[in-house]
């Protein structure tokens, strides 16, 4: 006899246990997604001339621009500074999401 159980599952594993584990993982994932959505990521750029806050859904919550950065003759500097701040905030949100989801993926190791 092989060490595999029904349907090629490792011995000791049954569909009931797998379904319970899957349901728990789904609940955990929803909880993590809700927690991420509530997180705020605050970034400054241009020496603090631009400040942006986004949430875990990558939605901009706040954008502040220092008046001295607003120069009609130099829109490019303002654009570059905003782009830099937005990209960094999104990177931080992505990093937090990856870390949270990585914890969930780690729970799969105990399943099999």
Per-residue pLDDT tens over the stretch 42-100: 999 999 999 999 999 999 999 999 999 999 999 999 999 999 999 999 999 999 989 88
Residue 67 inside a domain? The answer is yes
Residue 64 inside a domain? The answer is yes
- Kindly tell me if the per-residue pLDDT of 2 is higher than 50: no
Half-sphere exposure of 37 (CA within 13 A, CB side): 6
Residue 79 inside a domain? The answer is yes
Instruction: Give the confidence band of 14 by pLDDT, cuts at 50, 70, 90.
Output: confident
The pLDDT of residue 76 is 95
Residue 70 inside a domain? The answer is yes
Considering only CA atoms, which of 59, 63, 9, 15 is closest in space to residue 36? Answer: 59
Q: Which domain holds residue 79?
A: 56-106
Residue 7 inside a domain? The answer is no
Residue 6 inside a domain? The answer is no
The pLDDT of residue 33 is 87
Estimate the crossing angle of helix 15-38 against helix 75-109, to 10 degrees: 160
- Total number of residues shown for the chain: 112
Residue 101 inside a domain? The answer is yes
Sort 56 into a burial class: Cβ within 10 Å, 0-12 / 13-18 / 19+: buried
The pLDDT of residue 1 is 44
The pLDDT of residue 109 is 61
Residue 95 inside a domain? The answer is yes
Q: What is the mean pLDDT of residues 95-107?
A: 81
The pLDDT of residue 17 is 83
Half-sphere exposure of 64 (CA within 13 A, CB side): 9
Q: What is the number of structural domains in the chain?
A: 1
Bigger pLDDT: 18 vs 94:
94
């Amino acid at each position: 006899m092989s060490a595999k159980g029904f349907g090629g599952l490792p011995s000791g594993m049954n569909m009931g246990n797998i379904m319970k584990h899957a349901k728990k993982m789904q609940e955990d994932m929803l909880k993590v997604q809700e927690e991420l959505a509530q997180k705020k990521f605050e970034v400054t750029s241009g020496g603090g001339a631009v400040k942006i806050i986004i949430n875990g859904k990558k939605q901009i919550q706040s954008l502040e621009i220092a008046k001295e950065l607003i120069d009609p003759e130099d829109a490019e500097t303002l654009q570059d500074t905003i782009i830099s701040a937005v990209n960094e905030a999104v990177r931080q949100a992505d990093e937090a999401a990856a870390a949270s989801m990585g914890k969930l993926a780690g729970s799969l190791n105990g399943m099999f």
